[in-house]
């Protein structure tokens, strides 16, 4: 326990404190610490009042996060349960297929989606359509949010499935055998035996991916760039654009700080909903 | 009878249907690795292994030459180190959180998640100075440590979950038999959570494997890593996609291979008694 | 005794002779560290030129009999600008910055005290060396009256078009030269008209393709519409409403007419379709791009000579009537000397030797980019390279990108508006209104022209 605490404290905690400090400065690329107090935050709120895009960005962020989360969790459950039902070789194959998004470099994954849904004849799906004699569809103009949700959601499946299937595999066989002996069908075994035992991993994945989706912008940036015309611009991407194209780290840090606060609030909310306290009351043996 | 037959096929069909679009995407993209030159279509005009020449030819690295294998080896070392650090620490911490009662447990767990809320690049600046003052700035182990620390929070949560799945009787009988807590952990629990170890290790390994921004900024330019190599292919506006696809393919094989390997070895048979091959 | 004495004397003499020799030959080697970026492999000569420069400098020092030699350690990076620049700033903070670095943001670096002014050096060697650098280039190197860096890599953006498509439409070479003259004095409307003809005739899939992301080409196009974005005298950003509206409206019209696609295709498609003749004109490339087309997309030299034409960006008829000429832009990098350098004067000399006509020609021959100094054109390396000779005038006309910290985020905003308008998701009027709102909120000292 000791080493882990100190390590995490050192490498994570201190930089986080530093970041919070940076939020109160006007640090730019020159990395000079010029403290301007609450200057950044007031600008932020000032922007909120004057920049007409903020409402749309908020909506986008909510839609995106609430869209991608089910894809990941439900998809992850689906794949892990199904793949463990079929022959183990076949199951492994499918798990590998869904693991691929994490195995390939992130930029390649983003590029893959951008190319697949490219609006010209040379994008993958349009090329297939063209070969079938169908006209080209401008996917990224007509359905940008859906594509972005799917892309990130499926990426999340890779981890969810990994964790869920590992968790399922640790369930002692006696439990499921007992249920089957009692006459339970496949579906019932899943519903009443497996899922309840997966409560903690599901909580972990939900919470983690919730924050991931709130904070991630890389894939959205690669696939739609936030477009067309801010249709897929989410908060984190907006913060990135504002901070990094202008290299105003102080401002960027303040936007991030706000995002962190939002993250924490949501986090606590979800934890309460899942009844985390009750789950933690399991340490029965004392040192 | 028909119902049983159908029920058996349904999982297969579902899996195939869901996986098909993705397989199409992957195959469509990686096919161009095997083409001679870039074309606009999906199917390459001429099949060749030209794009894989980096496997046997030296590559330019700045003004020097290097081979892909040097970069590969470095990356493996870095990722494995990071993965091991993550796994060790998470397994220890996960066990503690699962079994031992202490104050501030909830707070600690929640804190881990809060830390995840801050994105990496912002932390980069802070970490840079931190490593500088400690003095391990330009060395691989130092950066591996930093990288590992970023993944530990989730790893701890995952690990705890796995340990939770072990029934208490195991614990009780082990304690009755005597032995220190550490021995119990090592000899009894670890084998039982093998799938969890696999998951956590892959997790730590993967993020270090793909990491670019940390390794590039915190290590001197002479340290050769694959992620930098891939990034350099993307730097201009005239990207050689065949070459990129080829290199990405090779770059993806270790994580994928690791995944399959660990899954085979550490995952038990499917739990729906008797339905799968052993 | 006498023998011993002689021996000792002999040894002493030997030692002193050898010692004197050693002393006489004691040469100090000074190491200069340089950090150079491509981006991409094309820029490698910028790094090797520094090594070449060290060689010349050493020959010079040897001829002088000076007890100093220079050793240069160049780190060449093929990555993009962002990680490279970040790393530089961090290393500077850690006290480990190199002596020489190639970067672009003159103003930030100068204000932040990262680089040394070079004005005195440039003036000292003006008649010897710096006199024939194209005058426009110094604009990008100047900040608050001082020169801070040395230009060494220009790639003017412009319009590439396919002559073979025009020939297939029935135009003779003479007619083509009249419509689209080599010296680049025509109008945007002419190019658009020809593009439309090609699309309507079914000869090409795309009439005009522009960049899929913000960049110098965007700025050049804006200038072509008279939408200037920066006032150099006052040092503030400018938003020209009517010109921006014309700019956005024109693009929308082109999409409606089928000349420009509703979403800009990604780079691979732009390059691929142009090289294969499926696109009439690409506005997404610069003078040096053919080198990469030849290497990666299989463009032949013959095709480059006969079928491809290059023009700087053309003013619209309206702007031409006001006196605007052809426009080209590039945000070129500069060799800077950092304030952490222990031997700044030597570093400056090194840079000077790295920008000789020979070095310039080496870089030019490798990248097909035009030389940045006139005398390099006569150098044997590129004297007979028809392509370089043909495109050389573009370097004289190139304008640097404005030095203002918010310039690029302004451009990014305009580009989003452009994409939205082309996709038909927002009207040009609305887009301009949104831009004005952003401008007023984000750029407090900016000017809005109605």
pLDDT tens sequence across A83-126: 877 777 888 899 999 999 989 988 899 999 999 998 888 888 99
- In C225-336, alpha helices (H): 241-256, 267-275, 289-296, 301-306, 317-321
Residue ranges of chain C that CATH labels 3.40.190.10:
2-154+332-400, 157-327+406-449
Q: How close A115 gets to chain C, by Cα (Å)?
A: 8
Conformation bin of residue C170: beta by default, left when phi > 0, alpha when psi is -120 to 50: left
Mapping DSSP to helix (H, G, I), strand (E, B) and coil, where does residue A159 land?
helix
Tell me whether residue B64 is in a domain: no
Q: How close B73 gets to chain C, by Cα (Å)?
A: 20
N- to C-terminal Cα separation, chain A = 13
Cα–Cα distance for residue pair C283/C311, rounded to 1 Å: 10
pLDDT tens by residue, B55-86: 888 888 878 888 888 889 989 998 998 888 88
pLDDT tens by residue, C47-78: 999 999 999 999 999 999 999 999 999 999 88
User: Is residue B163 located within the same domain as residue B206?
Assistant: yes
Within a 10 A sphere around the Cβ of C110, how many other Cβ atoms?
20
pLDDT tens by residue, B42-53: 777 778 888 888
| Chain C environment of B62 (Cβ under 8 Å) | 47, 74-78
**Residues 6+ positions from C212 with CB-CB distance below 8 Å:** C264, C265, C266, C267, C270, C284
> How many alpha carbons lie under 13 Å from residue C83 in its C-beta half-sphere?
24
Alpha-carbon distances of C32 from C35, C124, C278, rounded to whole Å: 10, 22, 49
Q: Does C389 touch chain A (CB under 8 A)?
A: no
Given an 8 Å threshold on Cβ–Cβ distance, is C89 in contact with A122?
no
Residue among C383, C321, C355, C340 nearest C56 (CA): C355
N- to C-terminal Cα separation, chain B = 25
**Residues 6+ positions from B268 with CB-CB distance below 8 Å:** A169, A173, B195
Contacting subunits of A (3+ beta carbon pairs below 8 A): B, C
Q: How close B24 gets to chain A, by Cα (Å)?
A: 9
| Nearest Cβ partner for C272 among B40, B129, B237 | B40
| Nearest Cβ partner for C75 among B128, B132, B221 | B221
Closest chain A residue to B205 measured between Cα atoms?
Answer: A103
Residue among A240, B235, A29 nearest C105 (CA): A29
ipTM score of complex: 0.82
Given an 8 Å threshold on Cβ–Cβ distance, is C75 in contact with B212?
no
Lowest mean pLDDT across A95-99, B142-146, B257-261, C433-437: B142-146
pLDDT tens by residue, C159-185: 999 999 999 999 999 999 889 887 778
Q: Does B235 touch chain C (CB under 8 A)?
A: yes
Residue C9 has pLDDT above 70, yes or no: yes
Q: How close B40 gets to chain A, by Cα (Å)?
A: 6
| Nearest Cβ partner for B195 among A79, A166, A211 | A166
**H or E segment to which residue C143 belongs:** strand C142-143
Here the CATH number for the domain that contains residue A82 is 1.10.3720.10
Residue among C221, C146, C178 nearest C418 (CA): C221
pLDDT tens by residue, C272-293: 999 999 999 999 999 989 988 9
SS3 sequence of chain B = CHHHHHHHHHHHHHHHHHHHHHHHHHHHHHHHHHECCCCCCCCCCCECCHHHHHHCCCEEECCEEECHHHHHHHHHHHHHHHHHHHHHHHHHHHHHHHHCCCCCHHHHHHHHHHHHCCCHHHHHHHHHHHHHHHCCCCCHHHHHHHHHHHHHHHHHHHHHHHHHCCCHHHHHHHHHCCCCHHHHHHHHHHHHCHHHHHHHHHHHHHHHHHCCHHHHHHCCCCCCCHHHHHHHHCCCCCCCHHHHHHHHHHHHHHHHHHHHHHHHHHCCCCCCCCCCCC
User: Is residue B82 located within the same domain as residue B169?
Assistant: yes
- What is the domain count for chain A? 1
Say if domain C2-154+332-400 classifies as CATH 3.40.190.10: yes
Q: Does A145 touch chain C (CB under 8 A)?
A: no
Given an 8 Å threshold on Cβ–Cβ distance, is C83 in contact with B217?
yes
Bridge-based pairing of strands C142-143 and C146-147 is antiparallel
Q: What is the CA radius of gyration of chain C?
A: 27
Tell me whether residue A7 is in a domain: no
Given an 8 Å threshold on Cβ–Cβ distance, is B38 in contact with C272?
yes
The average confidence (pLDDT) of chain C is: 90
User: Is residue B83 located within the same domain as residue B182?
Assistant: yes
| Chain C environment of A122 (Cβ under 8 Å) | 265, 268-269, 272-273
Given an 8 Å threshold on Cβ–Cβ distance, is C420 in contact with A32?
no
Q: How close A216 gets to chain C, by Cα (Å)?
A: 19
Task: Determine the average pLDDT of the residues in A223-232.
Answer: 88
Tell me whether residue A170 is in a domain: yes
Provide the number of CB pairs (under 8 Å) joining chain B to chain C.
Answer: 86
The average confidence (pLDDT) of chain B is: 77
Given an 8 Å threshold on Cβ–Cβ distance, is A229 in contact with C426?
yes
Residue among C197, C130, C151 nearest C170 (CA): C197
| Nearest Cβ partner for A29 among C108, C265, C423 | C108
The average confidence (pLDDT) of chain A is: 76
Cα–Cα distance for residue pair C359/C56, rounded to 1 Å: 11
User: What would the CATH number be for the domain defined by C157-327+406-449?
Assistant: 3.40.190.10
Residue among C79, C182, C193 nearest C392 (CA): C182
Lowest mean pLDDT across A246-250, B22-26, B237-241, C446-450: A246-250
Higher pLDDT, A128 or B41: A128
Tell me whether residue A47 is in a domain: no
User: Is residue B42 located within the same domain as residue B138?
Assistant: no
Give residue A27's pLDDT. 42
pLDDT tens by residue, C379-430: 999 999 988 998 888 888 788 888 877 888 899 889 999 999 999 999 999 9
Q: Does B238 touch chain C (CB under 8 A)?
A: yes
Cα–Cα distance for residue pair C361/C355, rounded to 1 Å: 9
Sheet with C157-162, side-by-side order of all strands: C206-209, C279-286, C157-162, C308-311
Q: What is the residue-wise DSSP string for A89-124?
A: HHHHHHHHHHHHHHHS-HHHHHHHHHHHT-SSTTSH
Here the CATH number for the domain that contains residue B91 is 1.10.3720.10
Q: Is A63 exposed, middle or buried (0-12, 13-18, 19+ CB in 10 A)?
A: middle
Cα–Cα distance for residue pair B254/B274, rounded to 1 Å: 32
Tell me whether residue B62 is in a domain: no
- What is the domain count for chain B? 2
Contacting subunits of C (3+ beta carbon pairs below 8 A): A, B
Given an 8 Å threshold on Cβ–Cβ distance, is A52 in contact with C409?
no
User: Is residue B37 located within the same domain as residue B105?
Assistant: no
- Residue C346's pLDDT band, with cuts at 50, 70 and 90, is very high
| Chain B environment of A17 (Cβ under 8 Å) | 126
- Residue B272's pLDDT band, with cuts at 50, 70 and 90, is very low
Cα–Cα distance for residue pair A20/A14, rounded to 1 Å: 10
Could you tell me the residue range of the domain that residue A98 belongs to? 53-235+266-281
Tell me whether residue B66 is in a domain: no
Give residue A286's pLDDT. 35
Could you tell me the residue range of the domain that residue B175 belongs to? 71-268
Q: How close C419 gets to chain A, by Cα (Å)?
A: 6
Tell me whether residue B56 is in a domain: no
Q: Is the alpha carbon torsion for C441, C442, C445, C450 positive or negative?
A: negative
Most confident of A181-195, B124-138, B146-160, C111-125: C111-125
Give residue C251's pLDDT. 96
Residue B117 has pLDDT above 70, yes or no: no
Q: How close A18 gets to chain C, by Cα (Å)?
A: 15
């Amino acid at each position: 326990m000791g080493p882990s605490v100190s390590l995490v404290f050192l490498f994570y905690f201190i930089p986080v404190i530093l970041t919070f400090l940076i939020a109160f400065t006007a640090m730019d690329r020159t990395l000079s610490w010029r403290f301007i107090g609450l200057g950044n935050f007031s600008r932020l709120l000032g922007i909120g009042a004057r920049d007409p895009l903020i409402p749309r960005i908020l909506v986008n962020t909510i839609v995106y996060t609430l869209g991608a989360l089910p894809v990941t969790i439900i998809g992850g459950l689906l794949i892990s349960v199904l793949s463990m039902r079929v022959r183990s070789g076949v199951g492994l194959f499918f798990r590998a297929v869904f693991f691929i998004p994490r195995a390939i470099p992130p930029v390649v994954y983003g590029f893959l989606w951008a190319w697949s849904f490219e609006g010209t004849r040379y994008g993958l799906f349009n090329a297939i359509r063209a070969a079938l004699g169908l006209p080209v569809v401008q996917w990224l103009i007509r359905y940008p949010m859906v594509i972005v949700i799917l892309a990130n959601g499926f990426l999340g499946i890779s981890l969810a499935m990994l964790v869920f299937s590992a968790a399922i595999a640790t369930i002692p066989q006696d439990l499921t055998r007992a249920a089957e002996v009692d006459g339970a069908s496949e579906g019932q075994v899943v519903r009443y035996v497996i899922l309840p035992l997966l409560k903690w991993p599901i909580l972990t994945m939900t919470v983690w991916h919730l924050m991931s989706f709130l904070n991630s912008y890389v894939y959205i940036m690669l696939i739609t760039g936030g477009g067309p015309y801010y249709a897929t611009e989410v908060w984190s991407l907006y913060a990135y654009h504002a901070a990094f194209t202008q290299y105003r780290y102080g401002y960027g840090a303040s936007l991030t700080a706000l995002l962190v606060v939002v993250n924490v609030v949501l986090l606590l909310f979800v934890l309460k909903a899942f009844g985390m306290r009750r789950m933690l009351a399991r340490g029965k043996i004392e040192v | 009878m028909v119902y049983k037959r159908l029920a058996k096929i349904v999982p297969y069909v579902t899996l195939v249907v869901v996986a098909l679009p993705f397989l199409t995407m992957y195959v469509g993209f990686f096919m161009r690795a095997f083409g001679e030159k870039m074309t606009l279509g999906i199917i390459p005009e001429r099949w060749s292994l030209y794009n894989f020449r980096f496997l046997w030819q030296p590559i330019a690295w700045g003004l020097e030459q290097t081979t892909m294998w040097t970069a590969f080896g470095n990356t493996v070392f870095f990722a494995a180190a990071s993965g091991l650090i993550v796994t060790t620490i998470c397994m220890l911490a996960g066990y503690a959180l699962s079994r031992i009662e202490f104050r501030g447990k909830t707070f600690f767990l929640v804190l881990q998640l809060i830390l995840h809320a801050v994105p990496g690049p912002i932390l980069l600046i802070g970490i840079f100075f931190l490593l500088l003052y400690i003095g391990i700035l330009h060395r691989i182990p130092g950066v591996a440590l930093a990288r590992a620390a970023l993944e530990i929070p989730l790893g701890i949560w995952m690990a705890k979950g796995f340990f939770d799945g072990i029934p208490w009787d195991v614990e009780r009988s082990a304690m009755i038999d005597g032995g220190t807590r550490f021995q119990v952990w090592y000899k009894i629990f670890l084998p039982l959570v093998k799938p969890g170890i696999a998951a956590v290790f892959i997790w730590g390994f993967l993020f270090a494997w793909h990491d670019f921004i940390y390794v590039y900024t915190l290590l001197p330019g002479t340290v050769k890593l694959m992620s930098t190599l891939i990034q350099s292919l993307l730097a201009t506006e005239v990207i050689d996609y065949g070459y990129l696809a080829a290199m990405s393919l090779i770059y993806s094989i270790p994580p994928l291979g690791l995944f399959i390997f660990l899954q085979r070895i550490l995952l038990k048979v499917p739990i729906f008694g008797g339905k799968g091959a052993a | 005794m006498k023998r011993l004495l002689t021996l000792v004397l002999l040894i002493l003499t030997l030692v002193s002779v050898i010692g004197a020799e050693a002393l006489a030959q004691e040469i100090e080697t000074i190491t200069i560290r340089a950090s150079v970026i491509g981006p991409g492999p094309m820029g490698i000569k910028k790094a090797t030129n520094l090594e070449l420069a060290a060689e010349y400098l050493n020959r010079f020092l040897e001829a002088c009999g000076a007890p100093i030699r220079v050793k240069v350690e160049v780190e060449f990076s093929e990555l993009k600008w962002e990680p490279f620049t970040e790393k530089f700033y961090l290393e500077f903070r850690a006290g480990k910055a190199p002596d020489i670095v190639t970067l672009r943001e003159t103003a930030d670096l100068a204000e932040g005290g990262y680089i040394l002014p070079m004005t005195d050096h440039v003036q000292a060697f003006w008649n010897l060396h710096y006199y024939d650098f194209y005058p426009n280039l110094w604009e990008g190197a100047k900040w608050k009256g001082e020169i801070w860096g040395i230009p060494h890599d220009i790639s003017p953006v412009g319009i590439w078009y396919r002559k073979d498509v025009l020939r297939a439409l029935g135009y003779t070479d003479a007619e083509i030269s009249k419509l689209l003259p080599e010296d680049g004095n025509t109008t945007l409307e002419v190019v658009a008209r020809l593009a439309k003809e090609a699309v309507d005739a079914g000869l090409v899939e795309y009439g005009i393709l522009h960049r899929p992301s913000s960049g110098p080409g965007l700025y050049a196009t804006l200038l072509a519409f008279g939408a200037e974005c920066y006032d150099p005298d006052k040092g503030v950003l400018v938003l020209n409403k009517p010109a921006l509206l014309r700019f956005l409206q024109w693009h929308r019209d082109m999409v409606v007419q089928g000349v420009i696609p509703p979403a800009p295709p990604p780079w691979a498609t732009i390059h691929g379709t142009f090289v294969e003749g499926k696109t009439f004109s690409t506005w997404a490339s610069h003078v040096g791009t053919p080198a990469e087309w030849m290497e990666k997309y299989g463009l032949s030299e013959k095709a480059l000579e006969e079928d491809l034409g290059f023009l700087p960006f053309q003013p619209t008829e309206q702007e031409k009537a006001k006196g605007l000429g052809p426009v080209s832009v590039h945000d070129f990098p500069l060799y800077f000397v950092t304030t952490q350098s222990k031997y700044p004067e030597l570093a400056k000399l090194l840079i000077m030797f790295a920008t000789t006509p020979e070095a310039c020609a080496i870089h030019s021959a490798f990248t097909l980019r035009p030389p940045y100094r006139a005398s390099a054109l006569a150098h044997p390396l590129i004297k007979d390279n028809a392509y370089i000779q043909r495109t050389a005038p573009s370097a004289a006309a190139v304008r640097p990108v404005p030095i203002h910290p918010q310039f690029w985020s302004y451009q990014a905003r305009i580009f989003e508006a452009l994409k939205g308008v082309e996709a038909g998701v927002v009207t040009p009027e609305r887009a301009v209104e949104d831009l004005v709102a952003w401008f007023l909120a984000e750029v407090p000292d900016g000017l809005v022209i109605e």
